[in-house]
Amino acid sequence: MQSLIDYLEAAPLKDGQKVLALTFMHGSRRRLEERLGQLQTLKRRADCSTIDSFAWRLVRRWLSLAATLGFADIEPNQYERVCDAAGALLQIKEVCGWVAASFPVLLVDEAQDMTANRLRLVEGLASRLEVFAAADEFQCLNEELRPNPACAWLAQVCDAEELTQPRRTNIAELMDAAAAIRKGEPPKSGKAFAVALTPKPPLAGAWLNGNLGWYGGGKSVAVITPTLGTFAQATVTWAAQNKTTRGSGPYSILWEESESKAATSFLDKIALQDMNDIPSVIALLTATGDLRATQDLADWMDTQRRTLAKTAFSNEEIEKAIEQGFAQRRRVRKGEGSGWRGMTVHGAKNREFDNVIVLWPAAIGGSDDQKRRLLYNAVTRAKERCLVLVQAKANLGRAPFA
């Protein structure tokens, strides 16, 4: 951010120009949008987007050209193909110049999560735009991205500046624990960071409720687990049904699910016909109780009726519209704020919470290095406190705890 400020002071944006900010996931997009909105130098002249969303904007603008490059009949939910097409388009100087006219500066956050086709998109933009990129290879959880293509490319094209000062927290115990995990050393328990052995879900649930009772009021809290298995689910279920001996609880934690899974679960609740008229579809959706999904689809069908005179829709058309509606929820979801929620480590990436409780089950796949990355990503979501509840005693003598 400071490098961006320095650059813009030396080379101010012209009328109509903005800074383009791209990142891989919507959590980091919202955080990036918030940070850029605080810069007086920009005065809100920034356009924040996920790489996938920007790729679709580019392909949609140059649809005919994309077709000549072999990307005909492309759909917005074909994410990999859309990014392939956008990367191909940005190898053409006229397309890249069209982007550069509006966005002379590119910010890329969480660059370590970029796959090769998304990296190609950024490489194309780098031929015309001034690029500022942030990447931490250790926070990449995709084992297929090792060695990391983005970090390798950045090492070739620039002299990287290593940032060592944490920005999410200034709590020494949290910073020390994260540093130890990263180095492969045992993290030390204290007050702000603690590791506890909880072999049974009722014990873990009691720890969870006690922590929420003491430190959860008015705070944002994330219950994070590497894998949403029996231990994590049983722990949260116990917490929602019981009190501790000191009266904490019961407390409910709702597990987050991806928009694609949410759309699939929603579609399983409705019985569509091969062809469906508007009143019958609205009746089916109303019965689910999801007012937002009902309204989104009703608005879409009404637009189709007014613009195309359509009054009946195929099963496939309805399903596609519902899936796009759920995907839109992810794009417009606001920041964390207060509130309690449960999620996997992958779902927590690029987000931050006041209080983090990690449920570490007995069995976790992957190498020791992968386990350290998983715990590191979970612990570094915390701004004030982090409690790690470990199911198996044997795990305390293995990575990532030893």
- Domain presence at residue 162: no
**Would residue 387 count as lying in a domain?**
yes
In angstroms, the Cα distances linking 72 to 59, 85, 97, 101 are 11, 10, 23, 26
Q: Is 289 a domain residue? A: yes
Q: How far apart are CA 365 and CA 329, in angstroms?
A: 31
Given 308, 330, 352, the domain boundary residue is: 330
Evaluate whether residue 164 is within a structural domain: no
Residue 151 domain-assigned?
Answer: yes
Residue pair 312/275 in contact (Cβ under 8 Å)? The answer is: yes
Secondary element (H or E) of residue 89 = helix 79-89
Query: Of 157, 191, 210, which marks where a domain is finished?
Result: 157
pLDDT given at position 202: 97
- What are the distances in angstroms from CA 280 to CA 271, 277, 311? 10, 6, 11
Residue 385: burial class (beta carbons within 10 Å; 0-12, 13-18, 19+): buried
* Whether residue 109 is found in the same domain as residue 11: yes
Contact between 62 and 94 under an 8 Å Cβ cutoff? The reply is no
- 121 with 189, same domain: the answer is no
Q: Total structural domains in the chain?
A: 3
Angle in degrees, 0-180, between the axes of helices 79-89 and 116-126, rounded to the nearest 10: 30
Are 213 and 362 in a shared domain?
A: yes
Residues 215, 353, single domain; the answer is yes
Domain final position from 108, 129, 157: 157
Q: Which domain holds residue 266?
A: 259-330
Based on the fold, state whether residues 294 and 146 are members of the same structural domain: no
34 and 152 belong to one structural domain: yes
130 phi and psi angles, rounded to 5 deg: -80, 125
Which three-class secondary structure state does DSSP give residue 324? helix
- Asked if residue 356 is part of any domain, the answer here is yes
Asked whether residue 220 falls in the same domain as residue 280, the answer is no
The C-alpha angle 59, 63, 65, rounded to 5 degrees, equals: 105
206 plus 322 within the same structural domain: no
**Can you give the pLDDT at residue 338?**
57
* Within-domain flag for 12: yes
Whether 229 is in a domain gets the answer yes
Conformation bin of residue 167: beta by default, left when phi > 0, alpha when psi is -120 to 50: alpha
Q: Going residue by residue through the chain (402 aa), what tens digit of pLDDT does each one get?
A: 899 999 999 999 999 999 999 998 887 888 889 889 999 888 889 999 999 999 999 999 999 999 999 999 998 888 999 999 999 999 999 999 999 999 999 999 999 999 999 999 999 999 999 999 999 999 999 999 999 999 999 999 999 898 877 778 999 999 999 999 999 999 999 999 999 999 999 999 999 999 999 999 999 999 999 998 999 999 999 999 999 999 999 999 988 876 677 778 788 888 888 999 999 999 988 888 888 888 888 998 999 998 989 999 998 889 888 888 877 765 555 554 557 999 999 989 888 999 999 999 999 989 999 999 999 999 999 999 999 999 999 999 999 999
Amino acid at 320: K
State the amino acid at position 55 in one-letter form: A
What is the reported pLDDT for 333? 53
Query: Around Cβ 326, how many Cβ atoms within 10 Å?
Result: 22
Q: Are residues 275 and 191 in the same domain?
A: no
| Residues 218 and 300 placed together within one structural domain of the fold | no
Same domain for 60 and 95, yes or no, is yes
Q: Which CATH number is 351's domain given?
A: 3.40.50.300
Same domain, 191 and 323: no
